[in-house]
């Protein structure tokens, strides 16, 4: 049984539909004008389905459709019309109509469409609940019980109850995407999609079309329409990792999307409403980027509504034993002896939790059943420990010179391979190029 609103200027048509649907045990309410329908939709009463005529004097069916789709939860809409055309159908579907019928039609046909909608809704609700059960792990069960991590968990618990935009800040490898997923999983959107994209990993010329989609013929090779990530994340969460790497043009388009809650596909003109919660993350200093003119201040204030800082692993080393135990579940029948654990505790982890996992994975491959100091990577055994013990001389240092020397060392160690050098230095390749330009390091150095 469904709660249905029928909208049509023709009272006789309304009453015929009402009589037929009430025989199917549906609850039916009538509106003899589009304006009456808008008034009913604005009240507390919720409808499962709205059946509306397209051509009506005053407020027409498309206006009823637009208003209905803005309601949360939105009712499904079936348009009925005697003036059907392909263009009308396309416009109706674009605005969110579930189906349309051409007058005259049989009540049995309308009933069949309604039952199909109700069955689809039931399946979607069952899937939503199933995904929510699978994902909704308590935040307190996440690895790490240190005070610093408990502070992060507390913030996650609070912001998950809202739709506020979140900016997660922290060094590479500190688990920013895991925090974003935790916020999504604890929110009311958990039954819908969590869509993640690393802005630094997508070429600049493709990033805009990835986020907003494109229309057929928008550019060479666009042989069909592509739905963007914002649309895929509708009613769910879109996670933009490394948002500091967004190019200026995409920054402007993202700002408009966040302000207006709508997108325009590349090569298109139609405005498409989207309801995606945004969570962004960065390991870069956005404030410095604003001063340098490479990041928009208005976008910064729009995304920095609720900042969350993920601490580097060196600041909560007491969590390392628990992290080791958790990660070792990925490697069958492999243990870590006490001396190796001690060495792992002493290391400074410039690559943070991600580096810890990589070191353990490598060691587990080398070891037979127990990881010992000999199985650990050279840097963990002391090769780069000087970084944690570095002391600034009395006369001070020039940070730019230190950065330049480190980059040159990284390039040399990587044999000139920029991608490998970026990995050694714990930055993205795009960030490495930016630093090289700032420090006047030639690309052939």
Domains of the chain: 3-130 (3.40.50.2300), 144-309 (3.40.50.300), 319-387 (1.10.8.60), 399-438 (1.10.10.60)
Interhelix angle 418-425/399-413, rounded to 10 degrees, is 130
pLDDT tier, 87 (very low <50, low <70, confident <90, very high otherwise): low
Is the predicted pLDDT of residue 441 greater than 60, yes or no?
Answer: yes
Burial bucket for residue 37 (CB in 10 Å: 0-12, 13-18, 19+) = buried
pLDDT tier, 383 (very low <50, low <70, confident <90, very high otherwise): very low
Do 9 and 32 contact (CB within 8 A), yes or no? yes
The pLDDT of residue 398 is 77
371 sits in which H/E element: strand 370-371
| Average of per-residue pLDDT values in the chain | 87
- Give the least confident one: 79-93, 202-216, 425-439: 79-93
The β-bridge relationship of strands 194-198 and 370-371 is unpaired
Six-digit token string for 181? 């997923």
The β-bridge relationship of strands 335-336 and 370-371 is parallel
Mean pLDDT along residues 17-41:
91
Interhelix angle 204-212/248-260, rounded to 10 degrees, is 10
At residue 424, the 3 state secondary structure works out as helix
Do 105 and 80 contact (CB within 8 A), yes or no? yes
| pLDDT tens digits for range 182-200 | 999 999 998 899 999 999 9
pLDDT tier, 442 (very low <50, low <70, confident <90, very high otherwise): confident
CA-CA distance, 100 to 401, in Å (whole number)? 68
pLDDT tier, 138 (very low <50, low <70, confident <90, very high otherwise): very low
DSSP assignment of 308-376: EEPPPGGG-GGGHHHHHHHHHTTSTT-EE-HHHHHHHHHS--TTHHHHHHHHHHHHHHH-SSEE-GGGS
pLDDT tier, 136 (very low <50, low <70, confident <90, very high otherwise): very low
| pLDDT tens digits for range 409-427 | 888 888 888 888 887 887 7
CA-CA distance, 425 to 439, in Å (whole number)? 15
Buried b (16+ CB within 10 A) or exposed e, 227-246: ebbbbebbbbbbbbbbbbbb
pTM: 0.61
The pLDDT of residue 386 is 44
| pLDDT tens digits for range 204-262 | 888 999 999 998 888 888 888 888 999 999 999 999 999 999 999 999 999 999 999 99
Mean pLDDT along residues 393-399:
72
Is the predicted pLDDT of residue 201 greater than 50, yes or no?
Answer: yes
Question: Using only C-alpha atoms, what is the Rg of the chain?
Answer: 28
The pLDDT of residue 89 is 64
Instruction: Give 345 or 125, the one with higher predicted confidence.
Output: 345
pLDDT tier, 388 (very low <50, low <70, confident <90, very high otherwise): very low
User: CA nearest 202: which of 256, 243, 255, 253?
Assistant: 243
| pLDDT tens digits for range 280-335 | 999 999 999 999 999 999 999 999 999 999 999 999 999 999 999 989 888 876 89
Mean pLDDT along residues 151-155:
95
The residue count for the chain: 445
Do 334 and 328 contact (CB within 8 A), yes or no? yes
């Amino acid at each position: 049984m469904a709660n249905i609103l029928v909208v049509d200027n023709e009272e006789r048509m309304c009453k015929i539909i009402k009589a037929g649907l009430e025989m199917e045990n549906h609850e039916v309410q009538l509106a003899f004008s589009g304006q009456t329908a808008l008034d009913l939709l604005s009240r507390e009463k919720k409808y499962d389905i709205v059946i509306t005529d397209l051509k009506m004097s005053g407020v027409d069916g498309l206006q009823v459709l637009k208003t209905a789709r803005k309601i949360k939860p939105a009712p499904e809409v079936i348009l009925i019309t005697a003036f059907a055309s392909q263009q009308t159908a396309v416009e109706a579907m674009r605005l969110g109509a579930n189906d349309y019928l051409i007058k005259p039609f049989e009540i049995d046909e309308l009933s069949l469409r309604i039952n199909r909608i109700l069955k689809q809704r039931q399946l979607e609700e069952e899937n939503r609940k199933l995904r929510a059960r699978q994902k909704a792990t308590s935040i307190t069960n996440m690895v790490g019980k240190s005070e610093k991590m408990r502070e992060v968990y507390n913030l996650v618990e609070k912001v998950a109850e809202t739709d506020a935009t979140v900016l997660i800040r922290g060094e590479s490898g500190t688990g920013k995407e895991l925090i974003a997923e935790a916020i999504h999983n604890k929110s009311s959107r958990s039954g819908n999609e969590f869509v993640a994209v690393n802005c630094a990993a997508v070429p600049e010329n493709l990033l805009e079309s990835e986020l907003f989609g494109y229309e057929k013929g928008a550019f060479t090779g666009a042989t069909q329409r592509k739905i963007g990530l914002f649309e895929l994340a509708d009613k769910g969460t879109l996670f933009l990792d490394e948002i500091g790497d967004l190019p200026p043009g995409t920054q402007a388009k993202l700002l408009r999307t966040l302000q207006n809650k709508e997108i325009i596909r590349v090569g298109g003109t139609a405005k498409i409403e989207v309801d995606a919660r945004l969570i962004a993350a960065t390991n870069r200093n956005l404030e410095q980027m604003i001063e340098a003119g490479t990041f928009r201040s208005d976008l910064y204030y729009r995304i920095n509504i609720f900042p969350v800082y993920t601490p580097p692993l060196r600041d909560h080393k007491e969590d390392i034993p628990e992290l080791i135990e958790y990660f070792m579940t990925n490697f069958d029948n492999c243990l870590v002896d006490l001396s190796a654990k001690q060495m792992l505790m002493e290391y400074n982890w410039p690559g943070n939790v991600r580096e810890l996992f990589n070191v353990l994975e490598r060691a587990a491959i080398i070891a037979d059943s127990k990881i010992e100091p000999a199985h650990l990577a050279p840097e963990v055994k002391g090769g780069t420990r000087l970084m944690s013990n570095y002391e600034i001389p009395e006369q001070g240092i020039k940070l730019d010179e230190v950065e330049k020397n480190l980059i040159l060392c990284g390039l040399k160690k990587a044999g000139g391979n920029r991608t490998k050098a970026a990995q050694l230095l714990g930055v993205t390749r795009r960030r490495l190029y930016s630093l090289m330009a700032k420090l006047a390091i030639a690309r052939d150095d």
